[in-house]
Protein backbone atom coordinates (compact mmCIF):
# COMPACT_ATOMS: atom_id res chain seq x y z
CA UNK A 1 0.00 0.00 0.00
CA UNK A 2 1.43 3.36 -1.03
CA UNK A 3 0.91 6.88 0.27
CA UNK A 4 1.47 9.96 -1.91
CA UNK A 5 3.74 11.46 0.75
CA UNK A 6 6.30 8.71 0.12
CA UNK A 7 6.72 7.98 -3.61
CA UNK A 8 7.88 4.56 -4.66
CA UNK A 9 7.38 2.86 -1.29
CA UNK A 10 4.89 0.12 -0.48
CA UNK A 11 4.71 0.48 3.30
CA UNK A 12 3.48 -3.09 3.69
CA UNK A 13 6.65 -4.59 2.26
CA UNK A 14 9.39 -2.15 3.31
CA UNK A 15 11.86 -3.78 5.67
CA UNK A 16 12.70 -1.49 8.57
CA UNK A 17 16.29 -1.27 9.77
CA UNK A 18 16.46 -2.58 13.40
CA UNK A 19 17.10 0.92 14.75
CA UNK A 20 14.20 2.37 12.77
CA UNK A 21 12.00 -0.57 13.77
CA UNK A 22 12.66 0.01 17.48
CA UNK A 23 12.04 3.74 17.14
CA UNK A 24 8.79 3.23 15.22
CA UNK A 25 7.40 0.68 17.68
CA UNK A 26 8.14 2.95 20.64
CA UNK A 27 6.60 5.94 18.83
CA UNK A 28 3.43 3.97 18.09
CA UNK A 29 3.06 2.73 21.67
CA UNK A 30 3.23 6.28 22.96
CA UNK A 31 0.75 7.43 20.32
CA UNK A 32 -1.75 4.72 21.32
CA UNK A 33 -1.64 5.73 25.00
CA UNK A 34 -2.36 9.36 24.12
CA UNK A 35 -4.93 8.55 21.42
CA UNK A 36 -6.96 6.32 23.69
CA UNK A 37 -7.33 9.26 26.07
CA UNK A 38 -8.43 11.55 23.24
CA UNK A 39 -5.11 13.32 22.69
CA UNK A 40 -4.68 12.71 18.97
CA UNK A 41 -4.38 14.27 15.54
CA UNK A 42 -5.05 12.88 12.07
CA UNK A 43 -1.32 12.97 11.37
CA UNK A 44 -0.72 10.74 14.40
CA UNK A 45 -3.26 8.20 13.13
CA UNK A 46 -1.61 8.24 9.70
CA UNK A 47 1.93 7.73 10.98
CA UNK A 48 0.82 5.04 13.43
CA UNK A 49 -1.00 3.23 10.62
CA UNK A 50 2.11 3.42 8.42
CA UNK A 51 4.15 1.92 11.27
CA UNK A 52 1.71 -0.98 11.68
CA UNK A 53 1.66 -1.70 7.95
CA UNK A 54 5.46 -1.60 7.86
CA UNK A 55 5.98 -3.79 10.93
CA UNK A 56 2.96 -6.10 10.83
CA UNK A 57 1.71 -5.89 7.25
CA UNK A 58 -1.74 -4.86 8.47
CA UNK A 59 -3.48 -2.46 10.84
CA UNK A 60 -3.57 -3.63 14.45
CA UNK A 61 -5.03 -0.80 16.53
CA UNK A 62 -8.56 0.48 15.93
CA UNK A 63 -7.53 3.78 14.37
CA UNK A 64 -10.88 4.15 12.65
CA UNK A 65 -12.56 3.89 16.05
CA UNK A 66 -10.23 6.56 17.40
CA UNK A 67 -11.07 8.81 14.46
CA UNK A 68 -14.80 8.17 14.85
CA UNK A 69 -14.67 9.22 18.50
CA UNK A 70 -12.21 12.10 18.47
CA UNK A 71 -11.57 13.20 14.89
CA UNK A 72 -15.01 13.50 13.34
CA UNK A 73 -17.61 16.27 13.50
CA UNK A 74 -20.89 16.08 11.65
CA UNK A 75 -19.59 13.22 9.52
CA UNK A 76 -16.52 15.17 8.38
CA UNK A 77 -12.96 14.16 9.34
CA UNK A 78 -11.09 16.81 11.34
CA UNK A 79 -7.38 17.35 11.88
CA UNK A 80 -7.19 17.65 15.69
CA UNK A 81 -9.03 16.36 18.72
CA UNK A 82 -10.19 18.78 21.39
CA UNK A 83 -7.62 17.46 23.90
CA UNK A 84 -4.83 17.78 21.35
CA UNK A 85 -5.92 21.30 20.47
CA UNK A 86 -5.99 22.35 24.12
CA UNK A 87 -2.22 21.89 24.21
CA UNK A 88 -1.77 24.39 21.38
CA UNK A 89 -1.27 28.01 22.33
CA UNK A 90 -4.43 30.13 21.84
CA UNK A 91 -5.86 27.58 19.40
CA UNK A 92 -9.35 27.72 20.92
CA UNK A 93 -12.12 26.68 18.49
CA UNK A 94 -9.77 26.66 15.53
CA UNK A 95 -9.18 22.95 16.09
CA UNK A 96 -12.45 22.19 14.27
CA UNK A 97 -10.70 21.97 10.92
CA UNK A 98 -11.85 19.53 8.27
CA UNK A 99 -8.72 19.80 6.16
CA UNK A 100 -7.91 18.01 2.92
CA UNK A 101 -5.10 16.19 4.72
CA UNK A 102 -7.53 14.99 7.40
CA UNK A 103 -10.06 13.88 4.76
CA UNK A 104 -7.38 11.99 2.82
CA UNK A 105 -6.01 10.41 6.00
CA UNK A 106 -9.45 9.05 6.92
CA UNK A 107 -9.94 7.78 3.36
CA UNK A 108 -6.49 6.17 3.22
CA UNK A 109 -6.86 4.42 6.58
CA UNK A 110 -10.30 3.12 5.60
CA UNK A 111 -8.73 1.69 2.43
CA UNK A 112 -5.98 0.06 4.49
CA UNK A 113 -8.33 -1.30 7.14
CA UNK A 114 -11.33 -2.45 5.10
CA UNK A 115 -10.10 -2.81 1.54
CA UNK A 116 -10.15 -0.36 -1.35
CA UNK A 117 -13.31 -1.80 -2.91
CA UNK A 118 -15.39 -1.37 0.26
CA UNK A 119 -14.76 2.35 0.77
CA UNK A 120 -17.35 4.95 -0.21
CA UNK A 121 -14.99 6.92 -2.42
CA UNK A 122 -17.78 9.21 -3.59
CA UNK A 123 -18.37 10.50 -0.05
CA UNK A 124 -14.74 11.59 0.22
CA UNK A 125 -14.76 13.01 -3.31
CA UNK A 126 -17.72 15.20 -2.39
CA UNK A 127 -15.86 16.44 0.70
CA UNK A 128 -12.83 17.61 -1.29
CA UNK A 129 -14.90 19.01 -4.15
CA UNK A 130 -16.53 21.38 -1.66
CA UNK A 131 -13.09 22.97 -1.40
CA UNK A 132 -12.75 23.65 -5.11
CA UNK A 133 -12.09 27.35 -5.62
CA UNK A 134 -13.85 28.40 -8.85
CA UNK A 135 -11.73 31.53 -9.19
CA UNK A 136 -8.39 29.71 -9.26
CA UNK A 137 -9.40 26.22 -10.35
CA UNK A 138 -7.48 24.80 -7.38
CA UNK A 139 -8.63 22.61 -4.50
CA UNK A 140 -7.30 23.81 -1.15
CA UNK A 141 -8.42 24.63 2.39
CA UNK A 142 -9.80 28.06 1.66
CA UNK A 143 -12.53 27.45 4.27
CA UNK A 144 -9.90 26.87 6.96
CA UNK A 145 -7.68 29.85 6.21
CA UNK A 146 -8.51 33.12 4.49
CA UNK A 147 -4.90 33.68 3.38
CA UNK A 148 -4.84 34.97 -0.19
CA UNK A 149 -3.70 32.62 -2.93
CA UNK A 150 -0.56 34.68 -3.55
CA UNK A 151 0.67 34.28 0.03
CA UNK A 152 -0.39 30.68 0.65
CA UNK A 153 2.44 28.18 1.01
CA UNK A 154 2.93 26.59 -2.37
CA UNK A 155 3.56 23.20 -0.77
CA UNK A 156 0.08 23.42 0.73
CA UNK A 157 -1.42 24.03 -2.70
CA UNK A 158 0.38 21.22 -4.51
CA UNK A 159 -0.07 18.71 -1.67
CA UNK A 160 -3.78 19.54 -1.43
CA UNK A 161 -4.10 18.96 -5.16
CA UNK A 162 -2.17 15.67 -5.04
CA UNK A 163 -4.30 14.29 -2.19
CA UNK A 164 -7.55 15.50 -3.72
CA UNK A 165 -6.72 14.11 -7.16
CA UNK A 166 -6.06 10.66 -5.68
CA UNK A 167 -9.46 10.59 -3.99
CA UNK A 168 -11.24 11.92 -7.09
CA UNK A 169 -9.58 9.29 -9.26
CA UNK A 170 -10.69 6.54 -6.85
CA UNK A 171 -14.25 7.82 -7.13
CA UNK A 172 -14.04 8.07 -10.94
CA UNK A 173 -14.90 11.74 -10.40
CA UNK A 174 -12.42 13.26 -12.84
CA UNK A 175 -14.33 13.93 -16.06
CA UNK A 176 -12.30 15.77 -18.75
CA UNK A 177 -13.59 19.28 -17.99
CA UNK A 178 -12.63 18.99 -14.32
CA UNK A 179 -9.32 17.17 -14.85
CA UNK A 180 -8.34 19.68 -17.54
CA UNK A 181 -9.11 22.63 -15.27
CA UNK A 182 -7.28 21.20 -12.27
CA UNK A 183 -4.19 20.29 -14.30
CA UNK A 184 -4.03 23.65 -16.05
CA UNK A 185 -4.40 25.46 -12.73
CA UNK A 186 -1.69 23.58 -10.83
CA UNK A 187 0.67 24.10 -13.79
CA UNK A 188 -0.16 27.81 -14.15
CA UNK A 189 2.91 29.83 -13.04
CA UNK A 190 0.67 32.74 -12.04
CA UNK A 191 -1.43 30.62 -9.67
CA UNK A 192 1.30 28.30 -8.38
CA UNK A 193 4.72 29.42 -9.63
CA UNK A 194 7.62 26.95 -9.86
CA UNK A 195 9.71 26.79 -6.69
CA UNK A 196 12.99 25.32 -5.50
CA UNK A 197 11.20 23.21 -2.89
CA UNK A 198 11.48 19.49 -3.60
CA UNK A 199 8.25 18.70 -1.72
CA UNK A 200 6.29 21.36 -3.59
CA UNK A 201 7.48 20.21 -6.99
CA UNK A 202 7.09 16.52 -6.24
CA UNK A 203 3.47 17.06 -5.11
CA UNK A 204 2.85 19.12 -8.25
CA UNK A 205 4.17 16.25 -10.39
CA UNK A 206 2.09 13.75 -8.39
CA UNK A 207 -1.08 15.78 -8.94
CA UNK A 208 -0.42 16.24 -12.65
CA UNK A 209 0.34 12.52 -13.09
CA UNK A 210 -2.86 11.48 -11.31
CA UNK A 211 -4.82 13.95 -13.43
CA UNK A 212 -3.25 12.54 -16.60
CA UNK A 213 -1.11 15.54 -17.54
CA UNK A 214 2.50 14.87 -16.42
CA UNK A 215 3.71 16.68 -19.55
CA UNK A 216 2.56 19.98 -18.00
CA UNK A 217 5.23 19.76 -15.29
CA UNK A 218 7.44 22.89 -15.49
CA UNK A 219 10.89 22.59 -17.06
CA UNK A 220 14.05 23.40 -15.11
CA UNK A 221 13.85 21.08 -12.11
CA UNK A 222 17.52 20.12 -12.46
CA UNK A 223 18.69 23.51 -11.20
CA UNK A 224 16.38 23.29 -8.19
CA UNK A 225 17.60 19.78 -7.31
CA UNK A 226 21.25 20.84 -7.57
CA UNK A 227 20.57 23.88 -5.37
CA UNK A 228 19.04 21.66 -2.69
CA UNK A 229 22.28 19.69 -2.48
CA UNK A 230 24.45 22.77 -1.99
CA UNK A 231 26.53 22.90 1.22
CA UNK A 232 25.58 19.33 2.13
CA UNK A 233 28.09 16.48 2.37
CA UNK A 234 25.34 13.97 1.59
CA UNK A 235 21.73 13.97 0.42
CA UNK A 236 19.35 16.80 -0.29
CA UNK A 237 17.53 19.45 1.72
CA UNK A 238 13.89 20.21 0.90
CA UNK A 239 14.91 23.72 -0.19
CA UNK A 240 18.09 25.76 -0.66
CA UNK A 241 18.86 28.39 1.95
CA UNK A 242 18.95 31.04 -0.78
CA UNK A 243 15.22 30.54 -1.37
CA UNK A 244 14.32 31.60 2.18
CA UNK A 245 13.25 35.19 1.66
CA UNK A 246 10.70 37.45 3.27
CA UNK A 247 7.45 37.26 1.26
CA UNK A 248 6.96 41.00 1.44
CA UNK A 249 10.49 42.44 1.44
CA UNK A 250 12.19 39.88 -0.81
CA UNK A 251 15.24 39.68 1.46
CA UNK A 252 16.94 36.87 3.34
CA UNK A 253 15.65 38.36 6.56
CA UNK A 254 16.81 36.51 9.72
CA UNK A 255 17.86 33.42 7.75
CA UNK A 256 21.55 34.06 7.07
CA UNK A 257 22.71 31.64 9.76
CA UNK A 258 20.26 28.82 8.99
CA UNK A 259 21.87 25.62 7.74
CA UNK A 260 20.56 23.00 5.29
CA UNK A 261 19.85 19.46 6.48
CA UNK A 262 19.53 16.24 4.52
CA UNK A 263 16.29 14.25 4.68
CA UNK A 264 15.39 10.68 3.66
CA UNK A 265 11.89 11.90 2.72
CA UNK A 266 13.37 14.60 0.49
CA UNK A 267 15.57 11.96 -1.12
CA UNK A 268 12.42 10.11 -2.16
CA UNK A 269 10.92 13.29 -3.57
CA UNK A 270 14.11 13.90 -5.55
CA UNK A 271 14.01 10.31 -6.82
CA UNK A 272 10.49 10.86 -8.14
CA UNK A 273 11.60 14.09 -9.85
CA UNK A 274 14.70 12.62 -11.53
CA UNK A 275 12.82 11.47 -14.67
CA UNK A 276 11.95 15.12 -15.29
CA UNK A 277 15.66 15.96 -15.68
CA UNK A 278 16.36 16.04 -19.42
CA UNK A 279 20.16 15.85 -19.42
CA UNK A 280 21.54 12.31 -19.08
CA UNK A 281 24.74 13.33 -17.30
CA UNK A 282 22.88 15.55 -14.85
CA UNK A 283 20.40 12.76 -14.16
CA UNK A 284 23.26 10.30 -13.50
CA UNK A 285 24.92 12.75 -11.12
CA UNK A 286 21.72 13.03 -9.09
CA UNK A 287 21.24 9.26 -8.98
CA UNK A 288 24.86 8.83 -7.86
CA UNK A 289 24.26 11.33 -5.05
CA UNK A 290 21.15 9.44 -3.97
CA UNK A 291 23.10 6.17 -3.97
CA UNK A 292 25.86 7.71 -1.87
CA UNK A 293 23.23 9.01 0.54
CA UNK A 294 21.74 5.53 0.91
CA UNK A 295 25.21 4.15 1.67
CA UNK A 296 25.69 6.89 4.26
CA UNK A 297 22.39 6.00 5.94
CA UNK A 298 23.31 2.33 5.99
CA UNK A 299 26.41 3.23 7.99
CA UNK A 300 24.64 5.93 10.02
CA UNK A 301 20.95 4.94 10.34
CA UNK A 302 20.28 7.48 13.10
CA UNK A 303 21.62 10.44 11.12
CA UNK A 304 18.29 12.12 10.44
CA UNK A 305 18.81 15.70 11.65
CA UNK A 306 16.21 18.24 12.68
CA UNK A 307 16.13 21.87 11.58
CA UNK A 308 17.79 24.43 13.82
CA UNK A 309 16.97 28.07 13.30
CA UNK A 310 19.89 30.48 13.26
CA UNK A 311 21.83 30.35 16.54
CA UNK A 312 18.96 28.93 18.60
CA UNK A 313 20.18 25.70 20.27
CA UNK A 314 16.74 24.04 20.42
CA UNK A 315 15.71 21.83 17.50
CA UNK A 316 12.86 23.11 15.34
CA UNK A 317 10.74 19.95 15.35
CA UNK A 318 11.84 16.34 15.27
CA UNK A 319 14.51 14.87 13.07
CA UNK A 320 13.52 11.22 13.13
CA UNK A 321 9.80 10.68 12.55
CA UNK A 322 7.96 7.51 11.52
CA UNK A 323 7.84 8.69 7.90
CA UNK A 324 11.54 9.59 7.88
CA UNK A 325 12.34 6.21 9.46
CA UNK A 326 10.41 4.36 6.74
CA UNK A 327 12.13 6.43 4.05
CA UNK A 328 15.59 5.88 5.52
CA UNK A 329 15.01 2.11 5.77
CA UNK A 330 13.76 1.97 2.19
CA UNK A 331 16.85 3.82 0.95
CA UNK A 332 19.12 1.48 2.92
CA UNK A 333 17.34 -1.48 1.35
CA UNK A 334 18.08 -0.13 -2.12
CA UNK A 335 21.85 0.03 -1.71
**What does the domain layout of the chain look like in residue ranges?**
1-119, 120-214, 219-335
Which tens digits make up the pLDDT trace of 124-177?
A: 999 999 999 999 999 999 999 889 999 999 999 999 999 999 999 999 999 999
**Per-residue confidence (pLDDT) for residue 301, from 0 to 100:** 97
**Per-residue confidence (pLDDT) for residue 330, from 0 to 100:** 98
CA distance 333 to 17: 8
What element of type H or E holds 138? strand 138-139
Q: What is the DSSP letter of 234?
A: S
Residue 95 above 90 pLDDT?
no
Q: Map residue 217 onto helix, strand or coil.
A: coil
Distances (CA, A) of 40 to 81, 86, 114, 155: 6, 11, 22, 24
**Per-residue confidence (pLDDT) for residue 168, from 0 to 100:** 98
**Per-residue confidence (pLDDT) for residue 88, from 0 to 100:** 77
pLDDT band at residue 248 under the 50/70/90 scheme: very low
CA-based nearest residue to 204, from 140, 170, 161:
161
Q: Which residue has the higher pLDDT, 307 or 236?
A: 236
Asked if residue 201 lies in contact with residue 194, where contact means CB atoms within 8 angstroms, the answer is yes
CA-based nearest residue to 201, from 273, 149, 286, 266:
273
Phi, psi for 245 (deg, rounded to 5): -125, 155
Which tens digits make up the pLDDT trace of 285-332?
A: 999 999 999 999 999 999 999 876 555 565 556 679 999 999 999 999
Question: What is this structure's pTM?
Answer: 0.93
Distances (CA, A) of 270 to 160, 228, 231, 235, 241: 19, 10, 17, 10, 17
CA torsion sign, 239 to 240 to 246 to 247? Answer: negative
State which of 59-68, 93-102, 234-243 shows the largest mean pLDDT: 59-68
For residues 214-229, give the mean pLDDT: 97
Residue 249 above 50 pLDDT?
no
Amino acid sequence: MKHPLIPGVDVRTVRLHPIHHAFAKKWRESAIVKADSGDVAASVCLQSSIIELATEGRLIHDWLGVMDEYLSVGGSPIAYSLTFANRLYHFDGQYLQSTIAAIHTRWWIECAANGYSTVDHHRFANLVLRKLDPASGLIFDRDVSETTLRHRMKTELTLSMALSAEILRAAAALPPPLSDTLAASIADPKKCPPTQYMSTEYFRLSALTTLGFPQLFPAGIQGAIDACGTDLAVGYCDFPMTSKVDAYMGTAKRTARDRPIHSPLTAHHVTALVPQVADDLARKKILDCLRDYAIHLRANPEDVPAFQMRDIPAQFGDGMTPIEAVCASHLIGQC
